[in-house]
């Protein structure tokens, strides 16, 4: 790499034009009695005129280092040195992408040890010292890996650079006074505040007590404004547009986290999404797919609290179209089909968000997979009854038989679609009831105290 320091001008001035090398054969042919210093005095064997050449440019060395800062992230440190004039320069660049949120570090500097804290300041970060009303704007300096003292020294060097020119104009006295205040900060005679605000989220201030909390350091993460996103070259929100609500962002986003397959215990991914059910409430749908064994499962959790009353939903299935109704069965809901004398207790099948046909098929598969009812250990009479039950259940699924389906959820978090909504459904009945003591016990509500618990705890002590 070429060195662009003062040694370039010195070498460029000392270097003069050089003659182009002559062909040895031509030089020997021109060596005669009338030849001048540059070859023949004239004729076709005359030496060419001197050609201007590029001056010799000193070369330097740039070193790149990919390193990781503890409790932070990876960065690229570049260092350039010139062997001719000993000029050196260091810069830092983030090795990662722009973060989802901006970050603001606020440090209360109270001792000389605080001046030695490592600081990563990217080129888009702003550094401020409110006590002096001092600010280093974004993109005014290259990214740097240094200390707080190093940032102050760099600011002082930048201010002192043009002081001789300012003295001619008699405007240097106030800057000299400010430089003196900056130098006094390094002695920490009085506490001051150091703030780094980076909308890219890639700046960093060391916590010497990590992983424990540092009371002197406050880290705040925030959502970038449209102006900050535009400054970083991101396609942000339009200026003046109100930011979306956090709940809306969650509804439009599918979250993914790592887990283990319940069948083969291999690593798998679980997708989670918040869904708003019309005329009901929000629920959380979780689906797990295993690439190793192909196992797939889904589960539904209520996105709200336990309702004050329980809910009993009764549907009279009279038409095959009823099989397409959406149904939410929470993990606390029991299912009953009186015509088949069948009841599925709460907790069986877990939480599900499916259709009525999907729920009945899950019940059929649950019965068919039970080795103690249809396996070698079952008796012929029991096998016959279960085969008869599966046949009747299949008739209901195919719409050939009418039946009643009862969903009883003491937590009140189950739902069955009303196809006539917002009008009343003649085949659907929803009842609210007060929970019994046993039901509250199953839900863990009897031991839960939500009012006056502070006073009760104080009197117990």
Q: Is the pLDDT of residue 102 over 80?
A: yes
Residue closest to 185 by CA, chosen among 153, 141, 158? 153
Strand pairing partners for 136? Answer: 127
Q: Is the pLDDT of residue 12 over 50?
A: no
Q: Is the pLDDT of residue 237 over 50?
A: no
Residues 248/260, Cβ–Cβ less than 8 Å: no
Q: Is the pLDDT of residue 153 over 70?
A: yes
Omega into 50 within 30° of 0, i.e. cis?
Answer: no
Residue 412 φ then ψ, to 5°: 75, 25
At residue 169 the predicted structure's pLDDT band, cuts being 50, 70 and 90, is: low
Mean pLDDT, residues 135-154 taken together? 88
Which pLDDT score is estimated for 191?
92
CATH code for the part of the protein at 305-443? 2.60.120.1040
Q: Is the pLDDT of residue 75 over 60?
A: yes
Residues 137/126, Cβ–Cβ less than 8 Å: yes
**Integer Cα distance of 361 and 7 in angstroms:** 84
At residue 378 the predicted structure's pLDDT band, cuts being 50, 70 and 90, is: low
Displacement of CA 423 from its chain's centroid (Å): 44
293: left (phi over 0), alpha (psi -120 to 50) or beta: alpha
Q: Is the pLDDT of residue 279 over 70?
A: no
CB atoms within 10 A of CB 299: 17
Q: Cα Rg for the chain, rounded, in angstroms? A: 40
Displacement of CA 436 from its chain's centroid (Å): 45
Mean pLDDT, residues 199-223 taken together? 84
Which pLDDT score is estimated for 193?
94
Please state, for a pLDDT cut of 70, what percent of the chain lies above it: 73
The predicted-structure confidence for 243-266, as pLDDT tens digits, reads as follows 445 445 566 778 888 888 878 888
**pTM tops 0.85:** no
Alpha helices for 232-355 (secondary structure H): 246-251
Q: Is the pLDDT of residue 356 over 50?
A: yes
At residue 317 the predicted structure's pLDDT band, cuts being 50, 70 and 90, is: very high
Strands 267-276 and 255-260, by their bridges, are antiparallel
Q: Is the pLDDT of residue 43 over 60?
A: no
Residues 6+ apart with CB under 8 A from 452: none
Which pLDDT score is estimated for 128?
93
Mean pLDDT, residues 126-130 taken together? 93
Mean pLDDT, residues 134-145 taken together? 86
Q: Is the pLDDT of residue 37 over 80?
A: no
The reply to whether 305-443 shares the fold of 98-231 is yes
Q: How would you label 237-247 residue by residue, b for 16+ Cβ within 10 Å and e otherwise?
A: beeeeeeeeee
**Integer Cα distance of 330 and 282 in angstroms:** 12
Mean pLDDT, residues 50-65 taken together? 67
Q: Is the pLDDT of residue 57 over 80?
A: no
Which is the CATH superfamily of the domain at 98-231? ZPR1, A/B domain (2.60.120.1040)
Residue 448 to residues 306, 410, 444, 445: CA-CA distances in angstroms? Answer: 12, 16, 7, 5
Domain ranges in the chain are: 1-20+56-96, 98-231, 305-443
Question: Domain 1-20+56-96 has what CATH class?
Answer: mainly beta
């Amino acid at each position: 790499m070429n060195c662009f320091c003062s040694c370039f001008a010195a070498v460029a001035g000392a270097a003069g034009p050089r003659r182009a090398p002559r062909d040895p054969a031509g030089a020997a042919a021109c060596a005669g009695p009338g030849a001048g210093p540059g070859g023949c005095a004239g004729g076709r064997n005359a030496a060419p005129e001197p050609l201007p050449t590029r001056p010799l440019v000193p070369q330097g060395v740039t070193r790149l280092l990919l390193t990781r800062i503890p409790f932070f992230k990876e960065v690229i440190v570049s260092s350039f040195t010139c062997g001719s004039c000993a000029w050196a320069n260091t810069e830092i660049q983030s090795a990662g992408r722009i973060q989802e949120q901006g970050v603001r570090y606020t440090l209360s500097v109270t001792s000389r040890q605080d001046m030695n804290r490592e600081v990563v300041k990217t080129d888009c970060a702003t550094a401020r010292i409110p006590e002096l009303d001092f600010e280093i704007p974004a993109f005014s300096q290259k990214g740097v890996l240094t200390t707080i003292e190093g940032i102050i020294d760099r600011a002082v060097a930048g201010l002192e650079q043009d002081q001789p020119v300012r003295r001619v104009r008699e405007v240097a006295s106030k800057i000299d006074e400010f430089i003196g205040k900056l130098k006094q900060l390094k002695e920490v005679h009085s506490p001051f505040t150091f703030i780094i605000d980076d909308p890219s989220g890639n700046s960093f201030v060391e916590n010497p007590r990590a992983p424990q909390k540092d009371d002197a350091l406050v880290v705040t993460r925030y959502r970038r404004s449209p102006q900050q996103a535009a400054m970083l070259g991101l396609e942000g929100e339009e200026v003046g547009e109100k930011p979306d609500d956090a709940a809306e962002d969650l509804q439009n986003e599918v979250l993914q986290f790592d887990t283990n397959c319940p069948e083969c215990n291999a690593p798998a991914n679980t997708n989670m999404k918040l869904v708003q059910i019309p005329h009901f409430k929000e629920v959380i749908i979780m689906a797990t797919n295993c690439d190793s064994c192909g196992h797939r499962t889904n589960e539904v959790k209520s996105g709200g609290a336990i309702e004050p009353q329980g809910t009993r939903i009764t549907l009279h299935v009279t038409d095959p179209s009823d099989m397409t109704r959406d149904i939410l069965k929470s993990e606390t809901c029991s299912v009953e089909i009186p015509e088949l004398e069948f009841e599925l207790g709460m907790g069986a099948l877990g939480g599900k968000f499916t259709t009525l046909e999907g729920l009945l098929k899950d019940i059929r598969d649950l019965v068919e997979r039970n080795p103690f009812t249809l396996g070698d250990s079952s008796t012929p009479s029991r096998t016959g009854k279960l085969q008869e039950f599966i046949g009747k259940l299949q008739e209901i699924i195919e719409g050939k038989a009418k039946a009643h389906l009862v969903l009883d959820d003491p937590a009140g978090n189950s739902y069955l679609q009303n196809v006539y909504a917002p009008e009343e459904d003649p085949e659907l009945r929803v009842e609210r009831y007060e929970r019994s003591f046993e039901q509250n016990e199953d839900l863990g509500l009897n031991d839960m105290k939500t009012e006056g618990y502070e006073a009760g705890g104080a009197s117990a002590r």
